[in-house]
Amino acid sequence: MSTPIRAHVRREGLRLLSRSQIRRRHLSYGALGVQRPGFSFHHPSTPTTPSSKRLSSPSWNTLSRALSTSVTSKSINEGYAGNGVVGIVRESYNKWERRVPLTPDQVRALIAQSPASSPIKVLVQPANHRIFTDAEYVAAGATLQEDLSEACLILGVKQVKEENLLPDKSYMFFSHVIKGQPENMPLLQKLLDSNIRFFDYECITQGGESDGRRLVAFGEFAGIAGMIDTFQAIGQQLLQSGYSTPFLNSPSSYMYRDLVAAKFGVSSMGRDISNGGLPSSLEPLVFAFTGGGNVARGAREIFELLPHKYVKVSELEELKKVPGPHTCVYGVLVEQEDMVKLKASASSDEKIEKAHYRKNPSEYEPIFHTKVGPYVNVLVNGMYWDQRYPRLLTKDQIKGLYAAGNDGLLALADISCDIGGSVEFLEKSTSVEKPYFNYDPRTDEVTDKIRSEGIAVMGVDILPSELPREASKHFGDALLPLLPEILGANGSAEGGGVGVELTNSCITAHGELMDNFRYIEQLKSSAFKEQSLRSLRSVPEAEERGLVVELDGHLFDSGLINSVLDLMEASACEVEIINMSVRGTEGRSHAVLRVTGDKKEEVVNKVRDLVPLLPTAEATCSIHGGSRQAVVTDMSQKRVLVLGAGRVANSFAEYIGRGDDRKVVVAGNVDSEVRSVAAEAKHGEGVCFDVTSDKARLEGLVKESDVVVSLLPAPFHGMVGDLCINNGVNMVTASYVSPAVRELEQRCLDAGLSILNEVGLDPGMDHMSAMKIMDDVKERGGMIKHFSSVCGGLPAPEAATNPLMYKFSWSPMGVMTASQNSAVYLREGEVVKVEGSELLNSAEDLHAFPTMNLECLPNRDSLIYRDLYDIQEADTVFRGTIRFKGFSQLMYGIKKLGLLEDAPCDSDNWAGVVQGMLAKGGAASVEEFVAKHCPKSDAQSIADCLNWLGMNGADLKVAHPGSAIKSFCALLESRLLFEGDERDMVLMHHDIRAEFPDGTIEKHRSNLQVYGEVAKMSAMCKTVGYTAAIGAEMILRGDIVDKGILTPMDKSIYGKGLELLEEEGLVFDETCEVIKGARAA
């Protein structure tokens, strides 16, 4: 080699070790005195003894430069010849993901710059949600088509779905596989199995260096969008305080057509401030900016479009004394010394040495809340933070500022979006549609609406997607120069191969991980999956168990984890990966490795010496063991946390806890119920506390779990989901997707987690069984014209012995509340709306089960299922609730009487309550009341029901005098119980009609009829609990690989789910009537 550095490289087959591999192994072995057989690499003037100083000396830079021009890997190019055809996939990651890897103009330039002898062709999959239209791509010279199989290179922005990956191709997109998280390993495995050469944008760096500047990224657009979005929050907050300002007219970023329009809008707002001034009684508005990267620069770029002045922190106190009206806003750049100071220092102005701070954060204390906080109106946070460092602003600190009268903070724009991070009261991320929430420091209360008492908080975690046009152009401009070397003949081995930037960003090729990324294999192996439980417990046999190395920092981006694993691989010790996790938005990771063997102390000391040699890792290294306890865990069991011990929890625990490989922890607030549910599992444990209020204890249980199942009331699912995302744990619920859960969508996707909802009876089994029929129809070319689905939990006919013909196998309050929901459905092309007050008056006869006298009520909004089920062609879409005939009119009369209102009772006994309600209705008797207010109801039935419940006697006291409905539900629960020899029943019926192109009509009927087991498990408990347990089991087994907010409407979930339900005896009876050659009427 033409370099003063002597390198001896052993050939491995026909493949040379890559430059980065040599560099990495030199760092791992040569510098630390570990000799690897057949491989040596040293500088002539450098001894082979360990020396941390030499690796940071100029000779190391010389080595890097020499290698970058001397050694190139050819292995990734062989067999992937370029043919000049590139494909652009349709993005499917998120509805707001409108960005593209190449804009139409960039496509035009790519085509135009290609030589006539080998023109480049661009294929684009059709998509309606891109920021650029299909027509624009066609006009630029692209070919619009679904099939991308002709392309040698396929581009996307975010992850491509596994089922859409084409084998033997080259792909480029953001994959999030390099950290080795188990949830992303199915995608990596698919890339390997499909012989795909995969380049990750995240790994394309200047010169191919692991710590080099990223070349292909979305730049400062998060800061730009975040700053624009914050102006509206300021306007709303000031309006709440009685001030009308130009900020109120500033729309969110995504509402502008492009960045030019957005900047024009901000500039216009600035002119209004400059010309008219802000209200004279309003104090100077101060914007404080943290962080020095692209995020902060983008935010300041927008801020500087307003009339502004930058001031120093030392000038803030005097600035606040300047009277209005003010014709500009003020900015202050917050430096390190404005945030923290040495605990040993008496001065808050002493210059901070960043290197010392990063290495010794515990020696510093926060001062932002005293030095800057009292004077700031808008905090724009773009700084990096992790748990080692003092927070910028805690809840206690902001509460203290408010208590001292310093309540001027109007808005927090946390563009870094670090939940509970540097600004502690960023309690959740927000969505593009709803970018703010209100935080009141006085009460620690979070509300969705901005109020005068509190701070408007913005924490949108997909901000660049709000400016997809410019973000895409910026991204494509960086990507475009890299493409010709892949697309042309030089994309193959014969052409000399791709450059070092792409070579070192290639993760897979030829069904193998590339050298730079071979460490992932250890993380994705089945052994590792079994070992990477999050629960780390202490055991006393530490010395026998070996030494434990705990690493925290930028382990992957810096290459530190590569070097550590190589070092351990070369030793004679046995190494076990106990835990590997990633947290935060800056790629920080945490690893726990156990080392055993005679030379464990030696290898552990070498690891400790290695860490400071890579300053870009900003890593810490802790050693456990010897005389101390080592961190180990039971690797054999998956840990399932069940929240709630109500009516369906027993069946869940029984199913999920059947094997020795499951540990079921049940948490609830009634000790006897918790112990009863936990006893259903082979390895069960009960924990009794208030799950809904003791958040700290709940989080401790969540972080120890592999999956969390929330059987709590639906309003608590959002809180549980937030904890699960923060701690990297998947979650399951049997409830409908609530707005609070839906807001977690992007955070869930970013974390690579699954929150599986609607896996119960209804919703749950109804989705799965209906979608099975409808997907089959669609696959055969048919369309759904009629969809009706009804479900109900009832007493078995022999147990329906009371006037209501109903008994409770679940919450009475849930039944009463559901009976007052508004409903809307589609019938023969006409939309039918039913107000909640009239729902019980809208029941219709149901003949699906001929041996029973039944009726059904419409259930909530059926229209949404046209989109959810993809049956837009249907002219009837109805979902309903089954009851025995007569129930609805009886309950309608009771409702009209006032027993379902959340209002105080007029008496402490039921006779007095009923008489008071009759009097309010202008009636002296039930018969007179019914005749006036609900003539369709049967007065005698209502009177008989009230008498049967005991409501005609003054000696029966109400349970909750403050609420009629709570008292009535308590009475129902005490009277409408199943006796020991009675059983319940679950009924479900689908009526689905399909039409085919040849005129054939299919009428599908699907019935489910399940009876409970006397004195054992109710039908409701079985159908809800088993379905939820099957959902959790599928996540634990890896059967569910999709991420985000999920429901069981996809075949990948319902297919296996129905099979497992059938094994438990939960089987649908399906029939199909075929009418040949008919036409739908």
Higher-pLDDT residue of 333, 624? 333
Quote the tokens at residue 511: 């069904």
CA nearest neighbour of 531 among 488, 574, 584:
574
pLDDT at 523: 57
Higher-pLDDT residue of 59, 378? 378
- The answer to whether the beta carbons of residues 986 and 1009 sit under 8 Å apart is yes
pLDDT at 720: 94
- Label each residue of 383-444 as H, E or C: CCCCCCCCCCECHHHHHHHHHCCCCCCCEEEECCCCCCCCECCCCCCECCCCCEEEEECCCC
Q: HSE (CB half, 13 Å, CA atoms) of 473?
A: 8
d(CA 817, CA 809): 15
Phi, psi of 829 (to 5 degrees): 85, -5
CA 91 remoteness from chain centre: 18
d(CA 535, CA 728): 12
Which band of pLDDT confidence, cut at 50, 70 and 90, is reported for residue 1079? very low
Q: Which residues pair with 1003 in a beta bridge?
A: 993, 1073
H helices of 157-292, in order, are: 185-193, 221-240, 259-276
Mean pLDDT calculated for residue range 941-967? 86
pLDDT at 1029: 95
d(CA 324, CA 533): 59
Mean pLDDT calculated for residue range 1059-1074? 91
- The answer to whether the beta carbons of residues 669 and 700 sit under 8 Å apart is no
Phi, psi of 457 (to 5 degrees): -115, 125
CA nearest neighbour of 560 among 529, 597, 590:
590
Q: Which residues pair with 379 in a beta bridge?
A: 288, 412
Enter the pTM of the model: 0.46
* Selection from 632-646, 937-951, 1029-1043 with the highest mean pLDDT: 1029-1043
Q: HSE (CB half, 13 Å, CA atoms) of 657?
A: 24
- For the beta sheet containing 638-643, the strands, ordered from the edge strand earlier in sequence to the opposite edge, are 684-688, 662-668, 638-643, 707-710, 730-733, 754-756, 1044-1046
d(CA 412, CA 376): 10
Tens digit of each residue's pLDDT (9 = 90 or more) over 150-187: 999 999 998 899 999 999 999 999 887 876 666 678 89
d(CA 1025, CA 196): 41
d(CA 513, CA 5): 29
327 pLDDT more than 90? yes
d(CA 1024, CA 765): 8
pLDDT at 27: 33
d(CA 216, CA 1024): 48
d(CA 1040, CA 1033): 9
* Selection from 386-400, 413-427, 712-726, 924-938 with the highest mean pLDDT: 712-726
Position 678, amino acid: A
Which band of pLDDT confidence, cut at 50, 70 and 90, is reported for residue 534? very low
Tens digit of each residue's pLDDT (9 = 90 or more) over 780-831: 999 999 999 999 999 988 888 888 889 876 667 878 888 888 999 999 999 9
d(CA 821, CA 838): 9
pLDDT at 389: 84
Tens digit of each residue's pLDDT (9 = 90 or more) over 853-866: 899 999 999 999 99
Per-residue exposure over 619-630, b if at least 16 CB sit within 10 Å of its own CB, e if not: bebebbbeeebb
Which band of pLDDT confidence, cut at 50, 70 and 90, is reported for residue 113? confident
pLDDT at 810: 62
Mean pLDDT of the chain: 82
36 pLDDT more than 60? no
Measured in residues, the chain has a length of 1081
DSSP 72: -
Quote the tokens at residue 119: 């023109």
d(CA 311, CA 331): 6
Phi, psi of 1033 (to 5 degrees): -60, -40
Cβ-Cβ contacts under 8 Å for 344 (sequence gap 6 or more):
363
CA nearest neighbour of 1036 among 479, 620, 657, 604:
657
pLDDT at 497: 57
pLDDT at 328: 95
Instruction: Indicate the Cα dihedral angle 861, 862, 867, 871, nearest 10°.
Output: -170
Q: Strand 85-88 relative to strand 153-155: parallel, antiparallel, unpaired?
A: parallel
Higher-pLDDT residue of 637, 435? 435
Mean pLDDT calculated for residue range 623-628? 50
* SS3 assignment, position 350: coil
DSSP string for 811-866? -HHHHHHHTT--EEEEETTEEEEE-GGGGGG--EEE-SSTTS-EEEEE-SB-THHH
The residues annotated as belonging to the active site are 762
Quote the tokens at residue 495: 């052409």
- The answer to whether the beta carbons of residues 689 and 716 sit under 8 Å apart is no
Cβ-Cβ contacts under 8 Å for 655 (sequence gap 6 or more):
1025, 1026, 1029, 1030, 1033, 1064
CA dist 265 to 181, 262, 963, Å?
42, 5, 52
pLDDT at 994: 95
Cβ-Cβ contacts under 8 Å for 710 (sequence gap 6 or more):
643, 644, 716, 717, 720, 721, 731, 732, 733, 735
Position 477, amino acid: D
623 pLDDT more than 80? no
Mean pLDDT calculated for residue range 26-43? 30
Angle between helices 19-28 and 58-70 (to 10 degrees): 150
Tens digit of each residue's pLDDT (9 = 90 or more) over 870-918: 999 999 999 999 999 989 988 898 898 898 888 998 888 888 998 889 8
d(CA 612, CA 616): 9
Whether omega before 325 lies within 30 degrees of 0, making that bond cis, reads: yes
Which band of pLDDT confidence, cut at 50, 70 and 90, is reported for residue 354? confident
pLDDT at 771: 95
pLDDT at 211: 63
What is the number of other CB atoms lying within 10 angstroms of the CB of residue 274? Answer: 13
d(CA 646, CA 1042): 29
What is the number of other CB atoms lying within 10 angstroms of the CB of residue 603? Answer: 23
Quote the tokens at residue 647: 């009516």
Quote the tokens at residue 852: 């029973």
Higher-pLDDT residue of 1080, 482? 482
Position 314, amino acid: S
Percent of the chain with pLDDT over 90: 43
584 pLDDT more than 70? no
Which band of pLDDT confidence, cut at 50, 70 and 90, is reported for residue 289? very high
835 pLDDT more than 70? yes
Tens digit of each residue's pLDDT (9 = 90 or more) over 462-506: 788 889 988 899 999 999 999 988 887 444 433 345 788 898 899
38 pLDDT more than 50? no
CA nearest neighbour of 219 among 479, 471, 481:
471
149 pLDDT more than 70? yes
